[in-house]
Amino acid sequence: MQLNYERPDYLFSLRSAGTSSACVNDRWLSTSFVIAPDALVEEWPVKDARSLQVSDLDPMLALEPELILLGTGATQEFPPAVVLAHCLKCRVGIEVMANDAAARTYSILAGEGRRVVAGFLFP
């Protein structure tokens, strides 16, 4: 069976994400990062969802998303309620999931042309 890799029409494509690394375009990243279809913020200093603070959302909110995906590693771990409330206050949806699920969701939404931003946490 012949498979063709179709390049997306946006700048940053998330090809895979696991518990310790992710592949963005053709580069492997092993530190936490933020990705949007047209932006990549490397070395995001957050390592654990439970320690996430409102100010840690600034790189994501600066990209003016309609939805934030938060990949929290191997399992779904929710950030403090104040972080979730801040997103609602800013009228930005937030979904928290494991990294693999966040990667799949990001790829689908970016492919649909949605204004999605994802943050992936690696310890």
Residue 2 has pLDDT above 50, yes or no: no
pLDDT at 1: 41
Distance separating alpha carbons of residues 27 and 13, to the nearest angstrom? 10
Distance separating alpha carbons of residues 69 and 96, to the nearest angstrom? 6
pLDDT at 5: 54
C-alpha distances out from residue 86 to 3, 58, 72, 73, Å: 43, 11, 18, 22
Q: pLDDT per residue over 11-56, tens digit each?
A: 898 988 889 999 999 899 999 999 999 999 998 999 999 999 999 9
Average pLDDT, the chain: 91
Please provide the CATH number assigned to the domain covering 27-120: 3.40.1230.10
Q: pLDDT per residue over 52-69, tens digit each?
A: 999 999 999 999 999 999
State the pTM of this model.
0.90
pLDDT at 6: 59
The tokens 């690696």 sit on which residue?
122
Provide the pairing of β-strand 116-120 with 67-71.
Answer: parallel
pLDDT at 123: 83
